[in-house]
Amino acid sequence: MRIVSWNVNGLRACAKKGFLQVLQRRKIDIMALQEVRAFPEQLPDNVRNPRGWHAEFAPAKRPGYSGVAIYSRIPPSRIEASLGVDRFDDEGRFLLAQFGRLSVASVYFPKGSGKDRDNSRVPYKMDFYREVFDRIQHQRKRGPVFVVGDYNTAHHERDIARPKSNVKSSGFLPAERQELSRWEDAGWVDTFRHQHPGEADHYTWWRQFGGAREDNVGWRIDYVFASKTAHRRVKDAFIWPQTFGSDHCPVGVDLL
């Protein structure tokens, strides 16, 4: 089984840049999306209901904003699109699909920078992290869990090309990085880092100007975190930096 996660930065736009080709040709079984930025009814039919796939969506209330989705080859046995907190659910950031005992959560963690770049949304972001953590801690009691998506945080210095110039930027603040450490301390595994422990220069997001992607000046902020029982099934973890269509690239895991 192959599970892939991709922040598509607008699914309608990504669909015009090859989304369906990636979905159909990369031997994917479950594809989790973030930043869909469309209501399902706004999507072309072949994107909303591609042949051979089941698609579930959790859009934001605000048009053209946020939103997550999960595409799967087999229908999920259970879907949950709510954390039970309106200020989070209204932004369409959480969708959990259960396939028997296995669960996959597609999560779009908030940016903390705020519209004025003053880090005003950091408290909201941290509250969201804690709410998702509590939810997945409960879910792992039911079986293996993968929490995939855009975490909007680079955990370690090797996960960001310019660490020294971003120490006061949301996405690399100590509190945000410590939250990911708390997840690991609780037994959650960053699957890519576990498979590639000493490697640097692996990024999943690049600014859309200044040649950042061409020069590989990026951030690794998209992750597949696995519960201990889920991680036992991981054969490989990967990043696809040469897959285009968004300012993020896909990440994923292959399972035994």
pLDDT digits 0-9 by tens, 131-142:
999 999 999 999
- Per residue in 32-68, pLDDT tens? 999 999 999 999 999 999 999 999 999 999 999 999 9
The structure's pTM equals 0.98
Which 3 state secondary structure label does DSSP give 57?
A: strand
How far does the chain reach from its first CA to its final CA, in angstroms? 7
Q: Residue 198: which pLDDT band, with cuts at 50, 70 and 90? A: confident
pLDDT tens-digit profile of 219-253? 999 999 999 999 999 999 999 999 999 999 999 99
pLDDT-derived band at 183 (thresholds 50, 70, 90) equals: very high
Buried-exposed string 115-138: b where 16+ CB fall within 10 A, e elsewhere:
eeeebebbebbbebbebbbebbee
Rounded Cα gap, residues 11 and 213, in angstroms:
20
CA 60 – CA 219 distance, rounded (Å)? 25
d(CA 12, CA 236): 30
The DSSP code sequence of 4-24 is: EEEE-SSHHHHHTTTHHHHHH
> Does the active-site annotation cover 150?
yes
Set out the domains of the chain in order of their start, with CATH numbers. Answer: 2-255 (3.60.10.10)
Task: Give how far the C-alpha of residue 173 lies from the chain's centroid of Cα atoms, to the nearest Å.
Answer: 19
pLDDT confidence of residue 75:
98
CA-to-CA distance for 189 and 180, rounded, in angstroms? 10
Catalytic residue among 45, 127, 150, 236: 150
Query: In this structure, what token pair is assigned to residue 113?
Result: 């920078």
